[in-house]
A and B are shown apart, each in its own frame.
Chain A
Amino acid sequence: MLSILLNSNTGWVLLSTMTLGIAAGTIGCMAYWKRQNLMSDALSHAALPGVVIAFLLIGEKNLLILIIGAAISALIGAFLIQWITTASRISEDSAMGMVLAIFYGFGIMLLTIANRSAGGNQSGLDGFIYGQAAAMVRTDVITMLVLALIVVFIVFIGFKEWKLYLFDGQFAKGIGLSLKGMNTLYTAVLVTTIVIGIQAVGVILMAAMLIIPAVSARYWTQSFKVMILLSAIFGGLAGATGTLISALGSGLPTGPFIVVVGAGFFVISLVLGKEKGILINYLQFKLHQKAQQSNAQTLKQEG
């Protein structure tokens, strides 16, 4: 039964996790330059209570509704982080740590309650913690695909503006770009990316989908455009490969596999990366050292 479901569905699921990876890689690049990697972690954890509350309210698992619930709760988390940071003496990282833990704890508490309720046990809500891509049905996949494509499109058409906003926000404001508008749009695409990912990757590991492709891409290029492209490719490959591996066994969570594949890309980039990869750095240093030493030697001989 399960294998039939998998077979008819796997292609679609693969497509959706790949698109998710592309969207996450793209937005992750922006989060990287906005220095908000931790923020994405806090927001993905903060999405959990929203998912469970939405489920408790409508009593069935409709991905779109759950995504909306997740988005609302993540946005409340984002707002709280900002409010705590500006209105109190608590610093941003502490605020993020608090919001992450409290929202996640609250979400788990609600999840336990939901699982005890009628039908809750079979709902597969647990899948939102570590991700269960195989549990997605056709409509879920389409919802995810559409939202992910919208996110990528928003980044694509405003590429020049995003670059300016990330590099020098004050200057952007000076020449007429609305910082408030960009901040709102940025939070909106970030939260959208996070919430569409929680079904496939889970709230705990969603942040890795945003962070890992971006830091891997950093090792290969000195151009923002190429970095975003590479990050999207790494994300897409990790999403597809991870889903494929997890689909081989039954009931395996998707999130961990995707993240492990992504981590593989990172290790490769870290060692072999063209821009300050460990190996390249070492080789360049050694070559330079050798050249200098032989230079010194010839000078000595001539002298």
Chain B
Amino acid sequence: MATPILQVENLSASYRKNTVLHDINFEVNAGSLTGIVGPNGAGKSTLLKTILNLHPSLTGSVKFFGLPFIKAKKRIGYVPQRGSVDWDFPTDALDVVTMGLYGQIGWLRRPSRLHKERAYEALDKMGMADYANRQISQLSGGQQQRVFLARALVQDADFYFMDEPLAGVDAATERAIMTILKELKAIGKTVMVVHHDLQTVEDYFDHVLLLNRTVIKHGRTEQIFTRENIANTYGGNMRWMGEEKRHAVHSIE
């Protein structure tokens, strides 16, 4: 049994008086690709932010590679929700990707041509090489998401957290992103993704974390992602759609 690289114990978080997350306990093993699934307001984004110290925790501890976040943060990459930044900011795609290297370049120093080349390679990997010098305000939603992912790739982290990378993107971008995620997994990286689309969970993720204010179930997708558990997560009265259609309709192929 591999040692877990993420240990979350008794974590809780709140917005002002409202406790959003409570009694969060789970462990993640290296090399897994986990989908965090739950209804709106379940605290999925908050869970990521709390784990990553971007939102204050009320109680509990989080350990990466057995270390506190501060000591491990160089090995962690975070892809925030697309809407979290102002895309009108005057800069181009290549520059945004280069930002992922700032930690390695070192503070107060300028990025070299080598850094720019690495950023360009990451863009190329996301199929965005043609848009390197494009203004970020002129990119479509899916292209913006790819730029964000490229920025995470150049960080060369061991552990990636992504907040709804597949929200509102077209099929081509979804495919490009999933290819990259599977590649990351194949080379031994660990990825946790906030995901919205129940239909694709089984195809995309080998682990699933069902969340609704607390962890409902967590484990291998084929064991955990059952009708009963999903119903528990979504409040029980959700109609199970797609059961009959599953073989007829595939969201992307």
**Are A and B co-members of a single complex?**
yes
A residues whose Cβ falls under 8 Å from a Cβ of B? 33, 157-158, 160-161, 163-164, 166-168, 170-177, 218, 221-224, 226-227
B86-94, B124-132, B170-178, B217-225: which lies at the interface: B86-94
B240 within 8 Å of A (CB atoms): no
B248 within 8 Å of A (CB atoms): no
A224 to B137, CA, bound (A): 13
**Inter-chain contact A176/B73, CB cutoff 8 Å:** yes
A-B contact pairs, 24 of them (CB 8 A): A158-B107, A160-B105, A160-B111, A164-B99, A164-B102, A166-B89, A167-B86, A168-B80, A168-B84, A168-B99, A170-B84, A172-B102, A173-B53, A174-B77, A175-B73, A175-B74, A175-B100, A221-B90, A222-B90, A222-B135, A223-B91, A223-B92, A224-B90, A227-B90
- Known A170-B54, A173-B54; judge A158-B155 contact (CB<8 A): no
B1 within 8 Å of A (CB atoms): no
In the complex, how many angstroms separate the beta carbon of A11 from the nearest chain B beta carbon?
35
Interface centre among A175, A222, A227 (most CB of B within 10 A): A175
Number of residues from B at the complex interface, CB < 8 A: 31
B5 within 8 Å of A (CB atoms): no
- Known A170-B84, A174-B73; judge A163-B78 contact (CB<8 A): no
CB-defined contacts of B187 to chain A, threshold 8 Å: none
CB-defined contacts of B109 to chain A, threshold 8 Å: 160
B52 within 8 Å of A (CB atoms): yes
**Inter-chain contact A176/B84, CB cutoff 8 Å:** no
In the complex, how many angstroms separate the beta carbon of A174 from the nearest chain B beta carbon?
5
**Inter-chain contact B80/A170, CB cutoff 8 Å:** yes
In the complex, how many angstroms separate the beta carbon of A121 from the nearest chain B beta carbon?
49
Given contacts A161-B102, A170-B80, 9 further A-B contacts (CB under 8 A): A158-B107, A166-B89, A173-B54, A174-B77, A175-B73, A175-B100, A222-B92, A224-B91, A227-B90
A218 to B86, CA, bound (A): 15
- Known A163-B91, A168-B99, A222-B90; judge A174-B52 contact (CB<8 A): yes
CB-defined contacts of A222 to chain B, threshold 8 Å: 90-92, 135, 137
CB-defined contacts of B90 to chain A, threshold 8 Å: 218, 221-224, 226-227
Closest residue of A by beta carbon distance from B107? A161
Closest residue of B by beta carbon distance from A175? B103
CB-defined contacts of A164 to chain B, threshold 8 Å: 99, 102
The total number of A-B Cβ pairs within 8 Å is: 72
B247 within 8 Å of A (CB atoms): no
B180 within 8 Å of A (CB atoms): no
Closest residue of B by beta carbon distance from A228? B90
**Inter-chain contact B110/A160, CB cutoff 8 Å:** yes
CB-defined contacts of B151 to chain A, threshold 8 Å: 171
A9 to B132, CA, bound (A): 51
Neighbour of B108 across the interface among A158, A168, A174, CB < 8 A:
A158
User: Nearest 7 CB-CB pairs, A to B?
Assistant: A175-B103, A174-B78, A168-B85, A222-B90, A167-B89, A224-B90, A222-B135
A177 to B137, CA, bound (A): 25
**Inter-chain contact A160/B85, CB cutoff 8 Å:** no
Closest residue of B by beta carbon distance from A160? B102
In the complex, how many angstroms separate the beta carbon of B115 from the nearest chain A beta carbon?
11
**Inter-chain contact A161/B108, CB cutoff 8 Å:** yes
B169 within 8 Å of A (CB atoms): no
In the complex, how many angstroms separate the beta carbon of B62 from the nearest chain A beta carbon?
14
CB-defined contacts of B89 to chain A, threshold 8 Å: 33, 166-167, 224
**Inter-chain contact A176/B103, CB cutoff 8 Å:** yes
A58 to B199, CA, bound (A): 73
In the complex, how many angstroms separate the beta carbon of A90 from the nearest chain B beta carbon?
15
Closest residue of A by beta carbon distance from B91? A224
B76 within 8 Å of A (CB atoms): yes
Interface residues of B in 3-32 (CB under 8 A from A): none
- Known A174-B52, A175-B102, A176-B74; judge A167-B91 contact (CB<8 A): yes
In the complex, how many angstroms separate the beta carbon of A202 from the nearest chain B beta carbon?
31
Interface centre among A157, A158, A177, A222 (most CB of B within 10 A): A222
A226 to B95, CA, bound (A): 14
CB-defined contacts of B108 to chain A, threshold 8 Å: 157-158, 160-161
CB-defined contacts of B73 to chain A, threshold 8 Å: 174-176
Closest residue of B by beta carbon distance from A176? B103
Interface centre among A176, A221, A227 (most CB of B within 10 A): A176
